[in-house]
Structure formats: structure tokens, C-alpha cells
Amino acid sequence: MTTFNGKINGNGLKIGIVVARFNAFVTQQLLTGAQESLVQHGVNETDIDVAWVPGAFEIPLTVQKMITTKRYDGVIALGAVIRGATAHFDYVCRGVTTGIATVSLATDTPIMFGVLTTDTIEQAMDRAGFKSGNKGADCAVSLLETLDVQRAILKADLA
Ligand SMILES: Nc1c(NC[C@H](O)[C@H](O)[C@H](O)CO)[nH]c(=O)[nH]c1=O
Ligand SMILES: CC(=O)[C@@H](O)COP(=O)(O)O
């Protein structure tokens, strides 16, 4: 039996980040966490590109645009969808979630889901660097591990 595991190594990788400006007081913290974690794990700062979009609903198409340039090994999607008084929350969450998963599979490219979907501002803040860690930093580590395990699978000589 062969078991594949990925290391957390960003050397030589080119990473794209798409971040929503809606709730920027949260998403800026997610972005900072992701950038700092990528650099801590060996990604060169000049190899990280950031695209800002109006809201989470615009993330999937912009991620797809990034990927079609073939400049990036993987992408991190960052946003903060916080429930309001109407059902709009549900449709935005469904759109961004389904969109990211669809683009990732269609382009065969790892896209980390760093879009917070919370009922309150406090829950969002807690997951953007306060009591519950930083989802952006978590996504950075997950992306590096995913890229490395995929590399291990592809290069394995299982003859
Ligand atoms: N309410 C939130 C939104 N709404 C905006 C949509 O994402 C989109 O930009 C608009 O519908 C135009 O297409 N976006 C968030 O990122 N977070 C929210 O809480
Ligand atoms: C997630 C949203 O779209 C939400 O912030 C919008 O608020 P509302 O449902 O009160 O219009």
C-alpha cells in the first residue's frame, strides 16, 4: 500500500489570492494572515498576487480568470459573508461555495475556501485572527500541503 502525504513547503510556488472587499474589516485580516503564512512557509513575497473583488459572489469567476493565465500553482479565495435580515446570505453563500468547487474541479487547480459564512460580526472577527485563529492563514497551509501531496502522487513510480 502506498500512502501519500504533503509537506508544507512553498519554495518556488506562485500563488494567487482573490479577496472580497465586502466586510473589508474582516477580509483584510484574512488576507494578512494568508500572506504572512505563505511567506513563513517559503513562498517568495513577489510570487503572491492579490485580486480584490467587490463581494464574495464575484470570487469564483475572478479565480477562474487567474487560473486561465496559467501563472499560478494554486489560489486562495477569501471573503466574509455575514448574515443580514433577508435570505440574501443563503444565495451568496451558495453561489460562492458552488462556484469555487466547480472552478477548482474544472481547472484541475487547488482553490482554498477561505470564505467565512457567519451569523454575526463577532464570529467573523474571531475567525480572522482573534479567538478562533485566522482562516486565511489556515488556507495558506492547506494550499501548500495540497499542492505537495498532488506533486507526490504525480511523481510516484508505482511500477
Ligand atoms: N452581503 C454580503 C455580500 N454581498 C454582495 C455580493 O457578494 C455581491 O458582491 C453582490 O451581490 C453583487 O454581485 N458579499 C460579501 O462578500 N459578504 C456579505 O456579507
Ligand atoms: C450576506 C448578505 O448579503 C447580507 O449582508 C445582506 O444583508 P440583508 O439580508 O439585510 O440585505
Task: Give the residue whose CA is nearest to atom 14 of ligand 1.
Answer: 55
Active site residue 88: yes
Q: Kindly tell me if the per-residue pLDDT of 147 is higher than 90.
A: yes
Measure 74 CA to ligand 2 centroid, in angstroms: 30
Q: Which three cell numbers stand for residue 9?
A: 513547503
**Residue 84 CB–ligand 2 contact under 6 Å:** yes
Tracing cell 435580515 back to the chain, one arrives at: 85
Confidence bin at 158 (pLDDT 50/70/90): confident
Mean pLDDT of 92-108: 98
**3-class SS of residue 159:** coil
Domains recognised in the chain with CATH numbers? 13-151 (3.40.50.960)
Integer distance in angstroms from the first to the last C-alpha of the chain? 12
- CA 11-143-129 angle, to 5 degrees, is 105
For a substitution probing ligand 2, which of 88, 92, 117 has the most ligand atoms within 8 Å of its CB?
88
Choosing from 7, 71, 88, 94, the catalytic residue is 88
How far apart (Å, rounded) are the C-alpha atoms in residues 96 and 91?
9
Question: Tens of pLDDT along 33-92?
Answer: 999 999 999 999 999 999 999 999 999 999 999 999 999 999 999 999 999 999 999 999
How far apart (Å, rounded) are the C-alpha atoms in residues 45 and 79?
21
